[in-house]
Structure 1
């Protein structure tokens, strides 16, 4: 519209050029202005301003003045808008930082309270699973409501089962075998977020699309090894195959790879690694890539707007997270009691490795993590962002590297009856969506060990 206005002004300005007598020129200008008045847009944008200016100057000068003003505005307006939006963005970022600071201060205060569990938190007691009603600080005692009878009883705090870390896992190559750890680091000081070296490598096909156990279950038999104290190489191992040490390449052939809907920059890790993987999986086009250190990947802003995946930050830097090639969030936590429920329903043992958690906790009731909002493990602070929806991955027996269709059918049937989105009110509330474990992000970063106690700070609304 501004361009059309300027063209109209240019036409009027040209009519004002002194190529004819002043009387003829004035009449011609008035004819042009009259024509402009017939159109409602030009009447508003040109006619009225020019009519106003002609009270103070001849028509030709009024046209030239308005033309100059419009031209100046057309040049300055984009810069003005850019500055305005930039200021708005800075103000928004400042507001976000302020809100985060308030939130962290609030959690710092809550963290100092003596009770481990807040009201409404599920706990395990000698009398059975229960839900906290009140904590009596003077008596160091909880009033809880028993899940089975809805009866309220008082239980000494020392009799409430403590929730602790039982297992820690990382999966250096996405969808390959995991490594059980006794301790881990959430955010390496110079590398990724999430647990150190977790899902930093990825196998891709000829189209640079990610490859998983869903189509290639034999990937479960690839057991990568990495020295967490000096993670400058990755060792590929599998039964019956000579191991291969793959030096970490941070420069070289770049590939823009796909993980679900995300496109991610990665570095190809060389022909030797590709040859080893291609031979083991019998897929000649497969390549091994590693997450590019300088690349950052945003978590789903609907759940974790202030977190990224795979960015390089120093310890304690601004909130960003995740190991690079995770499906969407950096850390998956699950409870042993939840697995116990599945095993009781299935009447058969199920390895927790089928669900590929990073942190396994024990001592809490089944599905307790559904309800946790903010919680601490040792000195680290985590935030529950969403329940973890499950796909066909649990159908793969990690010990055999083959699909167990009977197990998948049974697991899915149990989860659909006990853990479907409609009954739980999770996400889009669809019956076919089933859930096990919780996706979390870490807000305070550092070491994590087996045996660390979980302290629940807030509950999800």
Structure 2
């Protein structure tokens, strides 16, 4: 039976995610605490893994109840900041600025978060897809959790086949519901440089993109509308929750149903 296997949000854009047992859908259509904070340079550009592999040098944890961010630096130093307070957000700016050697500000958006596609909503993948991608790179030591950390989806669906989410884009695509909350497919997620890198070390897998494209082409489901895909370097669905379903809460274990 298809069900909601995992919920993961990324409180500070570009840094580690945290698992949630439940997450509310905000009025903006994204999940609560997802990319709620982001670092911007003095030209207004966001700092993330697409810009620098140094994000992989940091281990972070976040308490969604208190707003405390814990950072473990490469030398073992552990620092904590209460991101609910302006003073500690200022301290965090200074710490990140020193680490990344840049003039940074830590911004906050409670209503939508700093997701890449601000007119859309949560990202969705199936557990079987993560297992398949990990198998493609088994010789390089990729695990399922490693694939999960590389691909950085919000919503993970269990009990379905690999690339299950591909059916929800294109002409006459169905939608699906998670615990009664409707998800409409918007676009396949084209990938950047981040999935190539080990999430612990930042070391890239040689020729990752080429092998990924070859394997994706070989395993592309015949029931997918190929015209909805610009290329094969895609995995994961960017979805939209209609306004009528925003404000609802998703919970791990919720049933998942396809709606024609």
**TM superposition score category, shorter chain reference:** 0.7 to 0.9
Asked if structure 2 preserves the Cα contact closer than 8 Å seen for 1:213 and 1:396, the reply is no
SS of structure 1 residue aligned to 2:80: strand
Q: Is 1:434 equivalent to 2:233 in the alignment?
A: yes
TM-score of the superposition, structure 2-length normalised? 0.80
TM-score, structure 1 length as denominator? 0.47
Aligned residues: 241
What is the SS of the residue equivalent to 2:81?
strand
Whether 1:363 aligns to 2:182 is no
Confirm or deny: 8 A CA contact 1:335 1:362 kept in the other structure.
yes
Larger helix percent: 1
Alpha-carbon RMSD across the aligned residues, in angstroms, is 2.8
Alignment correspondent of 2:37? 201
- Matched with 1:280 is 99
Q: How does 1:122-137 map to 2 (within 5 A)?
A: none
1:327 corresponds to which of 116, 130, 133: 116
CA contact (8 A) 1:217 1:403 kept: no
Write out aligned runs for 1:308-387 (5 A).
310=111, 323-328=112-117, 329-348=120-139, 349-350=142-143, 351=146, 352-372=148-168, 373-387=174-188
Q: Which has the higher contact order (CA 8 A, sep 6+)?
A: 2
Q: CA deviation at 1:457?
A: 1.0
Quick check: 1:387–1:438 contact (8 Å CA) kept in 2? Answer: yes
In our comparison, the structure showing a higher alpha carbon Rg is 1
Contact 1:337–1:362 (8 Å) recurs in 2:
yes
Question: How far off its partner does 1:417 sit?
Answer: 4.8
- C-alpha distance after superposition, 1:331-355 (max 9, x if no partner): 0000122223323333443422111
Distance 1:441 1:430 in 2: 20
Q: 1:378 to 1:430 in 2, by over 3 A?
A: closer
Aligned-partner Cα distance in 2 for 1:274–1:403? 28
Distance 1:416 1:290, change over 3 A: farther
Runs of 4 or more off by more than 4 Å in structure 1? 416-420
Unaligned 5+ runs, structure 2: 169-173
Per-residue CA distance 1:103-153 (angstroms, 9 max, x = gap): xxxxxxxxxxxxxxxxxxxxxxxxxxxxxxxxxxxxxxxxxxxxxxxxxxx
Alignment of 1:197-276 (within 5 A): 197-230=33-66, 233-239=67-73, 240-248=76-84, 269-270=89-90, 272-276=91-95
Change over 3 Å in CA distance of 1:285–1:419 after alignment to 2: farther
Which residues of structure 1 form unaligned runs of 5+? 1-161, 253-267, 294-309, 311-322
Q: CA deviation at 1:357?
A: 0.3
**Are residues 447 and 223 of structure 1, via their aligned partners in 2, closer, same or farther at CA, if it must alter by over 3 Å?**
farther
User: Where in structure 2 are the equivalents of 1:184-195 lying within 5 Å?
Assistant: 184-187=23-26, 193-195=29-31
Contact 1:196/1:228 (CA < 8 Å) preserved in 2? Answer: no
1:256-276, CA deviations, whole angstroms, 9 ceiling, x for partnerless residues? Answer: xxxxxxxxxxxx942x11221
Alpha-carbon distance change, 203 to 404 in structure 1, aligned in 2, over 3 angstroms: farther
Alpha-carbon distance change, 404 to 228 in structure 1, aligned in 2, over 3 angstroms: same
Hey, what's the Cα distance between the residues in 2 that align with 1:412 and 1:203?
Answer: 31
Alignment-derived partner of residue 305 in structure 1: none
1:455 corresponds to: 257
Tell me whether 1:290 sits opposite 2:91 in the alignment: no
User: Per-residue deviation at 1:358?
Assistant: 0.3
Task: Name the CA distance, whole Å, in 2 between partners of 1:244 and 1:210.
Answer: 22
**Cα separation, 2, equivalents of 1:403 and 1:344:** 17
Work out whether residues 376 and 455 of structure 1, in 8 Å CA contact, stay in contact via their aligned partners in 2: yes
Query: Separation in 2 of the partners of 1:215 and 1:404?
Result: 18
Distance 1:377 1:326 in 2: 21
Checking the alignment, whether the CA contact within 8 Å between 1:269 and 1:290 is kept in structure 2 is: no
